[in-house]
Amino acid sequence: QRVYGVYALATTGTNSNSTATQIGGDIPSQYIPAYGSTTAAMSGDGNRIAVASNVNNMNEPGSVQVFDYDDVNEIYDPIGVLAIISKHNPAADNGFGFSVALCLDGNTLAISSIKPDDNGNPRNTGAIELFAYDPASKNFHATFPNPTQTSRNNNIIMDDENEDRRESSAFGLQLSLAENEDVDGVSSSTWLSVRSYNFDTEKGYVKVYNLSEQFYPKCGIQYPFLIGNGVCDDRPPYNTEACRSDGGDCQRNPVDGYPDCFVNTPSLLNNGEC
């Protein structure tokens, strides 16, 4: 079995004679990548890299391992005990990791699943799963839809409006994530572009999604059922902007007649109890 490596390179100097210096050792990436796939992605500052493995392995499910840069030892260390596998289809030979993308701050991860055929060419399949980094557990978890998006119930994007696979397309050949930032450099919205191919028309196409409208792309938590359940969970990261103040459970509301008074539950004021 061959082991394929991923290299993280940094350019030193600014003139035409600059050289590229490898950072740390080789990062393993099992099995040869599928044709046209993008099996490694890096955050904007270079401190985080996501690497796909086993995309073409018929005996194991595809997986993605995320590494953070250790500037003391000058190596990339894996985060999390286990690599990320598909939450939707964790079976062997699922094509998970065909293409990966990390956003600018490295806290949102998009992974496509396309099963190549025996010659390594993409089949007409495809789905994209979204994951967000949880600083509490120091791992990535499946993100979840904005509660207002009643048509969504998981972390998956598929090709048509009904979130089904289009049998005539290879959806998710290449992914790219982008962000808008406010004046303080904080992400205000996250966008995903998806390049795909239609076998019927023999043409490629690109779709763009505003993830911040449809998901909580920065909210990575182990127990998503605690979001928006009517009870304020003040622990980070639940009561943060990334998780929309615990899905609105911890949203502080103004009290009538007291413009500077913001509380979670205004009904508890003037209720006869201190």
Cα distances (angstroms) measured from residue 28 to each of 6, 68, 123, 227, 273: 6, 14, 26, 36, 62
Residue of higher predicted confidence among 261 and 101: 101
| Overall average pLDDT of the 77-102 stretch | 87
Q: What percent of the chain has pLDDT over 90?
A: 22
Residue-range domain boundaries for the chain: 29-222, 224-274
* Residue 3 pLDDT exceeds 90: no
**What's 34's DSSP letter?**
P
Cα distances (angstroms) measured from residue 158 to each of 31, 115, 128: 26, 15, 6
pLDDT of residue 250: 82
Contacts of 169 (CB under 8 A, 6+ apart): 124, 126, 159, 196, 197, 198, 199
pLDDT of residue 37: 65
Confidence class of residue 1 from pLDDT cuts 50, 70 and 90? very low
**pTM of the predicted model as reported, rounded to 2 decimal places:** 0.80
59-89 pLDDT, tens digit per residue, is 888 889 999 999 898 888 999 878 898 888 8
**Measured between alpha carbons, how far is 239 from 216 in angstroms, rounded to an integer?**
13
